[in-house]
Amino acid sequence: LCIRGNQFGEEAAAALAAVLATCGKSLKHLNLASCHLDDASGAIIANGLAENNTLESLNMRDNCLGEATGRALNSALRGHTAILQLPLDLNGIDLRWLGAIKKMLDRNVQFREKARPQKYKK
Residue in 106, 20, 111, 117 with CA at minimum distance from that of residue 60: 20
Determine the CATH number of domain 10-120: 3.80.10.10
State residue 53's pLDDT score: 87
Read off the pLDDT band of 114 (50, 70, 90). Answer: confident
Residue in 44, 37, 104 with CA at minimum distance from that of residue 65: 37
**Residue 28 predicted with pLDDT over 60:** yes
d(CA 41, CA 9): 7
Q: How far is CA 117 from CA 31, 112, 114, 122, in A?
A: 29, 10, 8, 11
State residue 93's pLDDT score: 98
Q: Name the 3-class secondary structure at 38.
A: strand
Q: pTM for the full model?
A: 0.89
Chain segment 61-84, per-residue pLDDT in tens? 999 999 999 999 999 999 889 999
pLDDT > 90: what percent of the chain? 80
| Mean pLDDT taken over the chain | 92
State residue 113's pLDDT score: 86
State residue 78's pLDDT score: 94
More confident residue, 46 or 118: 46
